[in-house]
Amino acid sequence: MEAQKVAFIGLGVMGYPMAGHLQHSGLETTVYNRSLDKALQWCTEYQGFLASTPAEAAKNCDIVFICVGNDDDVRSVVYGPEGVLEGMKENAILVDHTTVSADLAIELAQQCKQKKINFIDAPVSGGQAGAENGTLTIMCGGAKETFDQIVTTIDCYAKQATLLGDNGQGQRCKMVNQICIAGVLKGLSEALLLAEKSNLDIEQVVNVLKHGAAGSWQMENRAMTMAERKFDFGFAIDWMRKDLSICLNEANQHNLSLPMTQEIDRSYALLQDLNLGRMDTSILIKSYDQPTTDELAI
Mean pLDDT for all residues in the chain: 95
Section 168-189 average pLDDT: 98
Q: Which helix (H) or strand (E) holds 64?
A: strand 63-66
**How many C-beta atoms surround the C-beta of residue 143 within 10 A?**
15
**How many C-beta atoms surround the C-beta of residue 113 within 10 A?**
12
Band (pLDDT 50/70/90 cuts) for residue 292 is very low
Distance of CA 101 to the CA centre of its chain: 12
Smallest CA-to-CA distance from 78 within 91, 63, 88 is with 88
pLDDT in tens, 23-56: 999 999 999 999 999 999 999 999 999 999 999 9
Which residues participate in catalysis according to the annotation? 174
Pick the CATH number of 5-166 from 3.30.70.20, 3.40.50.460, 3.40.50.720, 3.40.50.300: 3.40.50.720
Q: Helix 169-197 and helix 259-273: axis angle, to 10°?
A: 70
Residue-level pLDDT at 290: 60
Q: Where in the chain is the domain with CATH 1.10.1040.10?
A: 172-288
Section 199-223 average pLDDT: 96
Whether residue 294 is predicted with pLDDT greater than 90 in this model: the reply is no
Section 249-260 average pLDDT: 98
**How many C-beta atoms surround the C-beta of residue 145 within 10 A?**
9
* pTM of the full structure: 0.93
pLDDT in tens, 65-77: 999 999 999 999 9
Beta strand pairing call for 136-140 and 124-125: antiparallel
pLDDT in tens, 87-121: 999 999 999 999 999 999 999 999 999 999 999 99
**How many C-beta atoms surround the C-beta of residue 173 within 10 A?**
21
Band (pLDDT 50/70/90 cuts) for residue 233 is confident
Section 115-130 average pLDDT: 96
Whether residue 126 is predicted with pLDDT greater than 90 in this model: the reply is yes
Class of domain 172-288: mainly alpha
Whether residue 193 is predicted with pLDDT greater than 60 in this model: the reply is yes
Residue-level pLDDT at 209: 97
